Structure 1
């Protein structure tokens, strides 16, 4: 009987408040070879259940720290990942709704960012030092590196951690290890955000490097259109040019300085703008 896993057990005996289950290797008289018995509460019993039946259950611990079985299968099992909603935040951490009577604890130490009620976050399920099931947002080591994706494939993922030094960590399809590289990210993200991206490269270890931008020759037209639209919305003038501060460009347009220069160069070549000392002007 393994905590946090889905298992098929045998109904051994009925009691007033439910039935006790044993492992399938139990002796004919119901004596368990190795695991003892676990309670399946009465409200969880299948209709017309009888002794000897095989029942698929999930094993977790109740509010009194006793192992208990349920026929309600949660969206996450031991060492696996799922996106779960934050139900509330308490004194020892956040509590996640995973469909069971007892909510799943996400300790403060296992949060990569402070979560709030209503957040949808990617977590893994593990057993803590007290032999209890808990959630963690530190899912890096739980992700697979054998994705089917190749360079330039379009993917979808969920942000699970941020790094000032490296970039934005993303779980593609909620299971594959990926990173939105620092020089390829021009928006502000937080854990739980969903993104669409392009695979820039597949590393030797199988992890994916991502970008939210398309190839330069495709992205150029889109960037130029963005700047042209902003010019139209601002009476034909924007106080930016190729000498403007890169951080100001990034915060205003979500573009790198180089992408901005390429885009206004395209508009200039098409004779749609002029570039002056005070900024760019529509023709």
Structure 2
């Protein structure tokens, strides 16, 4: 489920967040983090000098006096080598900067990981929060990530995407096994092969019927 940044979102201490600068003074910048008192980003924790109105990605931590404080120096808190994770694990992602290979993301507010460009169903926004999956833990401990699960869980997700889309479109989707892969990906966020497996499974379960122009949801009264 997509958990994008919005005005009512309230990050906690120990989390990475993409926050708006609302004021700047001699102490530092102050960030809107959804609470009555703005969050201080001291000059010592800045990598650049963000003006009011700009959004910055920060880690929220407690300073020596136990006060919530922000830091743009993410590498002081986020490490490349992950521990305690395995391929297939569901994780929380905060989207970071683009690279030549893909998009960096903060995993569970503790580790860096990478989503490859070829695996992305849509463009991702910096600071976006969403669920993801560990695709692979490399020998050096670095994480390759995916937005969809693998194996049986991936098939189940594809089937659920089809059912959700049918419900949202009055029980009919103008998609079939002859539809272009990019159209299926854009509409459902899954690959064509996953879509074909999903509709085959749903057809066998008598949850859908396959028509000439698409697929239709089987209602209880249709059985």
State the distance in 2 between where 1:234 and 1:216 align. Answer: 27
Deviations 1:137-191 (A, max 9, x none): 8x6xx7331433222233223111234x533211223331211234443244211
* Match in the other structure for 2:94: 158
**Structure of larger gyration radius:** 1
1:28-47 matched pairs, under 5 angstroms:
none
State the distance in 1 between where 2:52 and 2:95 align. Answer: 16
Aligned pair in 2 of structure 1 residues 254, 119: CA closer, same or farther (>3 Å)? farther
Unaligned runs of 5+ in 1: 1-74, 124-133
State the distance in 2 between where 1:146 and 1:231 align. Answer: 39
SS in 2 for 1:99: strand
Aligned pair in 2 of structure 1 residues 230, 101: CA closer, same or farther (>3 Å)? closer
State the distance in 2 between where 1:277 and 1:145 align. Answer: 51
Aligned pair in 2 of structure 1 residues 195, 235: CA closer, same or farther (>3 Å)? closer
State the distance in 1 between where 2:116 and 2:98 align. Answer: 11
Give the TM-score taking structure 1 as reference length: 0.52
Aligned 8 A contact 1:143 1:171 in 2:
no
* Match in the other structure for 1:143: 79
* Match in the other structure for 1:248: 183
Aligned pair in 2 of structure 1 residues 145, 275: CA closer, same or farther (>3 Å)? same
State the distance in 2 between where 1:116 and 1:223 align. Answer: 43
* Match in the other structure for 1:180: 115
SS in 1 for 2:40: coil
Which of residues 129, 142, 147 in structure 2 aligns to 1:194? 129
Query: How many residue pairs end up in the alignment?
Result: 186
Which of residues 60, 82, 86 in structure 1 aligns to 2:20? 86
Deviation of the 1:87 alpha carbon: 0.8
State the distance in 2 between where 1:190 and 1:89 align. Answer: 24
* Match in the other structure for 1:31: none
Aligned 8 A contact 2:185 2:192 in 1:
yes
Deviation of the 1:252 alpha carbon: 1.1
RMSD: 3.9
* Match in the other structure for 1:66: none
Which of residues 207, 211, 220 in structure 1 aligns to 2:146? 211
Aligned pair in 2 of structure 1 residues 230, 116: CA closer, same or farther (>3 Å)? farther
Q: In the alignment, does 2:168 pair up with 1:228? A: no
Deviation of the 1:100 alpha carbon: 5.8
Unaligned runs of 5+ in 2: 1-12, 32-38, 60-70, 219-223
State the distance in 2 between where 1:205 and 1:120 align. Answer: 29
Deviation of the 1:211 alpha carbon: 1.9
State the distance in 2 between where 1:247 and 1:154 align. Answer: 26
Deviation of the 1:203 alpha carbon: 0.8
* Match in the other structure for 1:60: none
Give the TM-score taking structure 2 as reference length: 0.64
SS in 2 for 1:209: strand
Structure number with the higher helix fraction is 2
